[in-house]
Structure 1
Amino acid sequence: MTNNLINIIFGMKVRQARLEVGLTLSEFASQCDLSPSYVTEIEKGRKYPRVDKIMRMTEVLQKPYDELVSIALSPSMAYLSTTLKSATFQRFPFDEFGLEMGDLVTLLTREPEKASALLHAVLEIGRRYGLREEDFLRAALRSYQEIHENYFQDLEDAAQSFIQEHGTQLGLTEEPPISQEALKTILEETYGYELNLQAIDTQPALQKYRSVYFEGKKPRLFINNALNSHQVTFILAREVGYQYLGLKERSFVSTPDQIDSFQQILNDFKAAYFGGVLLMPRQHMLSDLQHLFEQPTWPPHLMLAMLDKYNVTPEMLFYRFSELIPQFFGVKLHFLRFHHQENSTTYQLIKQLNMNQLIVPSGIGLLEHYCRRWLSVRLIREMVDAEHVPTSSDKPHIGVQMSEFVDTQDRFLCLGFSRELSLSPGVMSSVIVGFRVEPDMKNTIRFSQDPAIPQVIINETCERCPLTAEQCRDRAVEPTILWDEQKQRDRKLALIEIQNQL
């Protein structure tokens, strides 16, 4: 057990005992001959007092010394104790959200038994749905991105400084794309890397990885040669990000099998953000976005041209959209990535970033069927039905849709791409960005008024959808959850009716 955790448990027990005897913080501090600020530091777990001070506290609190300093908590607080000692709680990045662990403990100890019961419920839900520590850490990263609208000026500035230092070498003096060979040279000559594009191919067990990194005096980076040129360039740009930003704690394989800390995934995110800026410099992207949004009708050719101009994949392009559009155009958006295995009936939500309060389908942990009218799903279905499925080296399938939720009438303008994955033959992938339709959006995105854009009524999942079979021929399953909710409402009305009769 860490000293930090011991301090927190001691501070929590002191605070609880003080409240039990009805003393304010100032009264308790006075009777213990301590300053209120010092007692606050103790109760928040920042300080652990000397033995003589603890002895004085036990007298004031009327508690035995051994009971106060013991790390054991009462049975009613067992789940609170378990949570405090868990790796997830210890590693959760409270400081990134302006909190200290002690601040949370202070909240929990106001009603410790109720807090313990609440934490028990949370842990039980996590076990029931197979949630792992990395799920919580990834959720924390998404929240961190969303509260910053996924825009980080320090990373933009760092990438811009690198471009100024190496712009000529990278081929960025005028127009993108960035030079892949220059990135290789910088990694090899500036940072002493050894690059290898064949080693992964000799190890079948490693072929699911995009890259593998080995640290040392001469860092080695193995890149999967099944990747296309866009993906290799991004891996190189991200690797420059790790080095230029001085990020030590990181994932050594891509995509990582294991998340050891929040700092690891935060550093991975920072390096990827840096790499995205190198490939798609801000001023170039803002100019292209402005041109795109000024079009009076939906311009798919401009979207495809941006992929070629920056030599990037659809996911890279849309992720860069998510970084710049909310900040510079004032339009909230969401980003979704879905996967679908050939000959399967399921669609998996792999990645999401939600900055516009989209109703993300609520059946994720319940194995429900996503609405087949979502653009994410529609693009994959169209691709599967086509005679030729776009591979990673082809032009991706592209589409647009104005989606309206059947219950809330919330509307979203959605743009998307779909294609087959490079390292997973038979797996179709779609990425979309969606913009919440507000009254003034037509002034920012002119083509949102294009009457040719399909207008589609959607819902969360088929199990919850009120559309009839005549209204929706895309339904995957019957609306079983909706029926159950209706039966529950009928039972409540029947009970009210009986009560009124009595």
Structure 2
Amino acid sequence: MEQDYIKLIFGLKLKQIRTDRELSLFGLSKLSGLSKSYLNEIEKGKKYPKPDKIAALSEHLDVPYDEMVSLKLDKNLAPIGEILQSKLLKEIPLELFGIQESTMIDIISNAPSKVTAFISTIIEIAKNYSFSKESFYLASVRSFQEANNNYFNHLEQAVIAVAKTYQVDLTQPLHSKELEEILVEEYGYTINTSELESHTALDNLRSVFVPKTKTLLLAKHIDDAQKTFIYAKEIAYNYLDISERLYTFSWIKFENFDQVLNNFYASYFAGALIIPRARLVADLKSLFSKKSFRNTDFEHIINNYNASPESIYQRMTNILPKDFNLKSLFFLRFSHKKNSSNFKLNKELHLSKQQSPHANETNEHYCRRWISLKVIQDLCKSNKSHEFGIQISNYPNEAKSYLVLSSATADPFVAESYRSVSIGIQINNQFNRKVGFAKSKSLPTTQVGVTCERCTIQNCDVRQVEPKIILSKQKDEKIADVVRNLQEKFSN
């Protein structure tokens, strides 16, 4: 363990033993002969006493020496020990969120019982919802994105520098051949497009990188847009001098938080290189200048880049807050198996605040009125490669409305599976100022909920189950009203 954590654990144990004995620091000082300030520093994890001092504490507190120096904590402090021994505070770059590790340690040492209760609660919730370490890392990155409005200027500038260094024309669509030449000529890569095909267990992987020989193994069946994105990420890892990285795409598992963060940085860089900021800003300004919305205008933007619809939507979450000051927005990605009634929300991002459409882990039924689900259902019935939809979603319970754009495509790696990506922009004064078609009567408008179980919409023709959570709440309120009336009646 880190030496700082060993000090902290000793200090926590000493403080717990002292308080169990109902001793103040002054009282323990008189008892042990050690100064009050020295004992205070021990308890805060700033100092670790020498063996003779530990022996004195052991004798006067009537606790065996071995128990005093043991790293084993009792059940009240065990959750803190788990956090410290897992090195979680080391793995997560707290400085990204403006937090110093020493501050966290001070919080833990100053209120160990309260922090323990909090950590125990988090661990219990995590267990109940199968919340893995990877999930925690991904949630941390998502919070980091949201805290920065999902815009990272140093990566935007790095893209401009790369384009200048390697003479990449950012005004034209980018294709894999141009990036492959950079990887081979500048970074000594070898590209192999045949090896992965012979390993059926790797069917879901698009690429594997072998660092020792700088060999990039590519799945044979990926299209040029996917290949371009993989190449752009590899350029990011090299140009940004990232060594702590993932070697497969899609990822199998994360070893530490740096890999998760660097994977995000590389993906952001790749999106910014393939979908340059200046071009997308111009495209969106043109779209927003129109008084009415036409599907073909937005589909033209999607087709203007050698990128998947998901990459376009993700890039919009970078651009809209920065260049249009549209910060109240969300991004969702759903997956769906054909002939299944289940829709899985496996990626989400909320800027400014947690908007109404969000993931739940209690097997509730997402609102079938969402355009995110409609486009998947439409795609299942058609032979199209891409299904696009748009609607204004009104949430009556919250008095909020969002313009939601959504695209559905087949999952190229899972048979008879589909996925949709959506971006929702809250309709407010800023939206009305920036978007010419904001008040267009041609936009379909729908009353929506979050899940059927929590929805108050009456006579919904696509409802999957009864609103049991709402009904339960109403029942409780009715009981409370009756009890209140009885109390008033018999209080006179």
User: What TM-score comes out, normalization by structure 2 length?
Assistant: 0.89
Shift of 1:226: 1.6
Shift of 1:22: 4.9
Question: Which of 483, 490, 496 is 2:471 aligned to?
Answer: 483
Question: Which of 468, 476, 483 is 1:495 aligned to?
Answer: 483
- Matched residue of 1:295: which SS? coil
Shift of 1:360: 4.5
Map of 2:265 onto structure 1: 270
Is 1:299 the counterpart of 2:294 in the alignment?
yes
Distance of aligned partners of 1:23 and 1:421 in 2 relative to their CA distance in 1, 3 Å threshold: same
Give me the whole-angstrom Cα distance separating, in 1, the residues matched to 2:56 and 2:412: 65
Is 1:431 the counterpart of 2:421 in the alignment?
yes
Is 1:400 the counterpart of 2:386 in the alignment?
no
Shift of 1:85: 2.6
Distance of aligned partners of 1:53 and 1:413 in 2 relative to their CA distance in 1, 3 Å threshold: farther
- Matched residue of 2:304: which SS? helix
Map of 2:348 onto structure 1: 352
- Matched residue of 1:271: which SS? helix
Paired residues of 1:12 and 1:105 also in contact (CA < 8 A)? no
Question: Which of 295, 306, 316 is 1:311 aligned to?
Answer: 306
Length, aligned pairs only = 482
Map of 2:83 onto structure 1: 83
Shift of 1:57: 10
Counterpart mapping for 1:369-384 below 5 A:
369-384=365-380
- Matched residue of 1:212: which SS? strand
Is 1:96 the counterpart of 2:92 in the alignment?
no
Give me the whole-angstrom Cα distance separating, in 2, the residues matched to 1:43 and 1:248: 38
Moved more, 105-114 or 204-213: 105-114
Moved more, 67-76 or 77-86: 67-76
Amino acid aligned to 2:226: Q
Distance of aligned partners of 1:294 and 1:7 in 2 relative to their CA distance in 1, 3 Å threshold: farther
Distance of aligned partners of 1:296 and 1:73 in 2 relative to their CA distance in 1, 3 Å threshold: same
Paired residues of 2:454 and 2:468 also in contact (CA < 8 A)? yes
Paired residues of 1:416 and 1:433 also in contact (CA < 8 A)? yes
- Matched residue of 1:456: which SS? strand
Give me the whole-angstrom Cα distance separating, in 2, the residues matched to 1:106 and 1:17: 19
Amino-acid identity (%): 30
Paired residues of 2:44 and 2:109 also in contact (CA < 8 A)? no
Moved more, 375-384 or 232-241: 375-384
Paired residues of 2:391 and 2:403 also in contact (CA < 8 A)? yes
- Matched residue of 2:412: which SS? coil
Shift of 1:86: 3.5
Paired residues of 1:176 and 1:279 also in contact (CA < 8 A)? no
Counterpart mapping for 1:65-464 below 5 A:
69-86=69-86, 88=88, 91-167=91-167, 170-172=168-170, 175-216=171-212, 218-332=213-327, 333-361=329-357, 364-386=360-382, 388-390=383-385, 396-464=386-454
Cα-to-partner distance string for 1:432-457 (whole Å, 9 max, x where unaligned): 11111112311111222211011111
Distance of aligned partners of 1:44 and 1:298 in 2 relative to their CA distance in 1, 3 Å threshold: farther
Give me the whole-angstrom Cα distance separating, in 2, the residues matched to 1:487 and 1:92: 44
- Unpaired runs of 5+ residues, structure 1, are 391-395
Moved more, 65-74 or 264-273: 65-74
Amino acid aligned to 2:288: F
Cα-to-partner distance string for 1:1-49 (whole Å, 9 max, x where unaligned): 333421332344566689875569xx99xx977999x977x6665x544
Shift of 1:301: 2.3
Shift of 1:476: 1.4
Distance of aligned partners of 1:270 and 1:68 in 2 relative to their CA distance in 1, 3 Å threshold: same
- Matched residue of 1:475: which SS? coil
Shift of 1:146: 0.4
Map of 2:457 onto structure 1: 467
Distance of aligned partners of 1:53 and 1:265 in 2 relative to their CA distance in 1, 3 Å threshold: farther
- Matched residue of 2:208: which SS? strand
Distance of aligned partners of 1:239 and 1:485 in 2 relative to their CA distance in 1, 3 Å threshold: same
Give me the whole-angstrom Cα distance separating, in 1, the residues matched to 2:137 and 2:43: 27
- Matched residue of 2:130: which SS? coil
- Unpaired runs of 5+ residues, structure 2, are none
- Matched residue of 2:340: which SS? coil
CA RMSD of superposed structures (Å)? 2.9
Give me the whole-angstrom Cα distance separating, in 2, the residues matched to 1:442 and 1:423: 40
Paired residues of 2:389 and 2:407 also in contact (CA < 8 A)? yes
Map of 1:393 onto structure 2: none
Give me the whole-angstrom Cα distance separating, in 1, the residues matched to 2:294 and 2:4: 56
Moved more, 277-286 or 128-137: 277-286
Shift of 1:53: 10
Amino acid aligned to 1:9: I
Moved more, 133-142 or 283-292: 283-292
Distance of aligned partners of 1:232 and 1:246 in 2 relative to their CA distance in 1, 3 Å threshold: same
Counterpart mapping for 1:7-86 below 5 A:
7-13=7-13, 22=24, 45=45, 47-49=46-48, 51=50, 69-86=69-86
Paired residues of 1:138 and 1:265 also in contact (CA < 8 A)? yes
Paired residues of 2:176 and 2:225 also in contact (CA < 8 A)? no
- Matched residue of 2:480: which SS? helix
- Matched residue of 2:205: which SS? coil
Give me the whole-angstrom Cα distance separating, in 2, the residues matched to 1:372 and 1:305: 27
Shift of 1:277: 1.3
- Matched residue of 1:366: which SS? coil
Distance of aligned partners of 1:55 and 1:315 in 2 relative to their CA distance in 1, 3 Å threshold: same
Amino acid aligned to 1:187: L
Distance of aligned partners of 1:362 and 1:484 in 2 relative to their CA distance in 1, 3 Å threshold: farther
Distance of aligned partners of 1:177 and 1:57 in 2 relative to their CA distance in 1, 3 Å threshold: farther
Cα-to-partner distance string for 1:440-493 (whole Å, 9 max, x where unaligned): 311111222211011111111001111122xx2111111122112222222222
Shift of 1:424: 1.5
Paired residues of 2:325 and 2:430 also in contact (CA < 8 A)? no
Distance of aligned partners of 1:97 and 1:363 in 2 relative to their CA distance in 1, 3 Å threshold: closer
Distance of aligned partners of 1:39 and 1:76 in 2 relative to their CA distance in 1, 3 Å threshold: closer
Give me the whole-angstrom Cα distance separating, in 1, the residues matched to 2:436 and 2:16: 59
Shift of 1:201: 1.4
- Matched residue of 1:365: which SS? coil
Amino acid aligned to 2:194: Q
Amino acid aligned to 2:285: Q
Paired residues of 2:376 and 2:420 also in contact (CA < 8 A)? yes
